[in-house]
Homo-oligomer: A and B are copies of this chain.
C-alpha cells in the first residue's frame, strides 16, 4: 500500500512533470507543420489562423471545446467526384443483382440501358432515371443487408483513371485538415449529398469519422419483424432528408443541433452550409475547393471558365459570393503540394 502522504508527493511530481511535458509539447507543435501537403499561401494561413484564434485561451474568438464543430462535404471536397459520384457507380454495379431478383425489370428503362453495358447511353441517363436506379438499389433491403453489400463492393471497386479503390482517392491535404482540427478539439462531421448509410460504411476507416458523425441524404426506415420474429429495419424508398443545398444546414440542425465553426465544400450544393456557418458569431472558417488542376486531378465548372458539368458545380456566382463574403477558395493547383495519399 502507498500512504496518502506518498500519493500526494507523487501527485506533485506528476503535476510538475506534466507541466514540463506540456511545454515540450507546445514547442514540438510549433515546430511541426500540421499541414505538410499545403503550399504556403492564403488558404493554409486561413486554416492555421482559424485554429489558433479559436483554440487559444484568452483569444477574443476562443471557442469552448464542446462547441468546436467542423463540417465537410465529401464528393469533390474530401475525395474525387469525377467522372461520376462513386455511389452512383455502386448503384449501377448493383443493377444486375436487382434485375436478377426482379427479372421483369430487364426490359424496363432505365434498367434495360444499364444492363446493355452501353457506357455512352448510361452516361446520358437523366436525373429522373438515376433516381429510379438509386431507389431500386439502395432501398427495400434491411439496413444490415445494405451495409454488408456496400462493405463488399467498396474495397473491390476501382477508379478507371488511377486504378485505385475510390477510398484511396481522398485528398491528402484535406485528410491533414481533418486530423489537425481533431487534434485541436474539433469534432469533424461529413455533411454529404451522398447516402448517409453508404458513407457510414467506410467513414471511420477512410476519414477517421465515426458513423454517428456522418450526415447525409437519408431514406426513412421501417421497423418490423422478420419471419422468426426478430426486429428488423428496412430501408424505405422514401426520402427523409435531401442533404444538398438548403438541406445541408437543415440536416446539420437536425443531426448535430449546433452551428459549425468551420465548413468546407466545393459546389453550389454547399453554398447554404457555408452561409449558415458564416452567419454565426465570432470567427468562422468557410472554405471552397476549386478544381483547377486538370493535370493532377480535374478542372471543371464555370468558375474555371468551363461549362457547367452538373456534378459538383462551382459556378461563377458561387465564386463571387465567396470573394464578397470572405470565404477562402482553395486552388488545388496552387495550394496543394500533393493530391492523394501515397499508395499503400
Contact = CB atoms under 8 A, between A and B. Distances in A.
Interface of A: 2, 7, 10, 13-14, 17-18, 20-21, 24, 66, 143, 187, 196-197, 200, 204, 210-212, 214, 218, 220-224, 230-231, 233, 240-241, 246, 249-250, 253-258, 272, 275-276, 279
Contacts of A257: 196-197, 200, 211-212, 214
A90 B320 CA distance: 45
Contacts of A224: 246
B276 A223 contact: yes
Contacts of A241: 240
Nearest to A255: B255
Given A10-B20, A14-B21, 10 more contacts: A2-B20, A7-B24, A13-B13, A14-B17, A196-B254, A197-B257, A200-B257, A222-B246, A231-B279, A233-B276
**Main secondary structure on A side of the interface with B:** helix
Nearest to A235: B253
A211 B218 CA distance: 20
B223 A66 contact: no
13 contacts: A2-B20, A13-B17, A66-B210, A200-B257, A211-B256, A211-B257, A212-B257, A218-B254, A222-B246, A223-B246, A233-B249, A233-B276, A255-B255
A223 to B, nearest CB: 4
List 3 A-B pairs, minimum CB-CB distance, nearest first: A223-B246, A211-B257, A231-B279
Contact of A212 (B7, B18, B231, B255): B255
A49 to B, nearest CB: 24
B18 A14 contact: yes
Contacts of A246: 222-224
A157 to B, nearest CB: 22
A254 B231 contact: no
B66 A275 contact: no
A223 B204 contact: no
Centre residue among A222, A224, A257 by max chain B CB count within 10 A: A257
Nearest to A203: B257
Contacts of A66: 204, 210
A312 to B, nearest CB: 20
Nearest to A201: B257
Given A246-B222, A250-B220, A212 B256 contact: yes
Contacts of A255: 212, 255
